[in-house]
Amino acid sequence: MSIHTLLIPFLTLVISTVPAVQEAPVSDKAPQSVAADPAKMIGKAFPSVQVADLEEKVVDLSKLTDETLVLEFALPSCSFAKRLYIQKRVQPLIRRWGKSGVKWVSVDSTFFAHPQRWRDWAAKYSLNHQFLLDKEGQLAESLGVRVSPTYVVIHKGKVAYHGALDDDIWGQNMERVVLLDNALKAILAGEQAPGAYNKPYGMAIRTRKVEDVRRKEFEEARKKALKELQKPGEPTEKPSSKD
């Protein structure tokens, strides 16, 4: 039996141990070194980061810091975000707070973000607010965002709220506390948001740096598996036929 025959099931086991993008009601799926500590972002100045709109035009969000801004970090493929919109837990907030001058912006910070996915999303849920692409993940990382969906409120140029929309992780609680709504009420009343940081729940956001880390971990695991199965005197990598 060749080493390559033995290697297939072993590598399958190794691959299964490498962190994958999956649903999880936690906010620490991304490597800790990638994003800032979200719990320490409250009161921090909004970072100067440029992103792109769905027409690939550059948008400087720092020009909007005079407004009260809700940044919704979400993914069209995230079942947690989908559930929020299917259950209409977000749309009423967008409409109601929009009447009070709050600007709502959805941000996709994955390295594979694509404008058409958001056009389809907007059409499906009858949305007309702004959608932005943060393909390098700089905005998410500078604000400590690791999970979709995460809501960040910027007020007077500073982070005033960071975290979950509500306390209903699985969408089954009819008496849920809408944390973002409570935060906006306090912020616009000139008060500090109660529980200004609430750990978000959802799916890990694969920024470009997160993906680079995942690929590096996989490659290291692959090389380790090859080394452990290597027979004495046999090369770790099979020579290419071109060589």
Encoded tokens for 66: 């005079």
Apex CA 194: angle with CA 74 and CA 65, to 5°? 55
Tell me which H or E stretch contains 175: none
pLDDT at 233: 63
CA distances from 218 to 14, 171, 207 (A): 8, 34, 17
**Residue type (1 letter), 122:** A
Per-residue pLDDT of the chain (243 residues; tens, 9 = 90+): 554 444 444 444 444 443 333 344 444 444 444 578 999 999 999 998 899 999 999 999 888 878 899 999 999 999 999 999 999 999 999 999 999 999 999 999 999 999 999 999 999 999 999 999 999 999 999 999 999 999 999 999 999 999 999 999 999 998 999 999 999 999 999 999 999 999 999 999 999 888 878 788 888 888 888 888 876 666 655 555 554
For strands 158-163 and 197-198, give the pairing: parallel
pLDDT at 235: 62
Burial category of 150 from C-beta neighbours within 10 Å (exposed 0-12, middle 13-18, buried 19 and up):
buried
Tell me which H or E stretch contains 145: none
Task: Supply the pTM of this predicted model.
Answer: 0.79
**Residue type (1 letter), 93:** L
pLDDT at 240: 57
Encoded tokens for 21: 């993008």
The rounded distance, in Å, linking the Cα atoms of 231 and 55 is: 55
Structural domains of the chain ordered from first start:
22-209 (3.40.30.10)
Encoded tokens for 161: 């709220």
Taking only the tens place, the pLDDT of each residue in 76-120 is 999 999 999 999 999 999 999 999 999 999 999 999 999 999 999
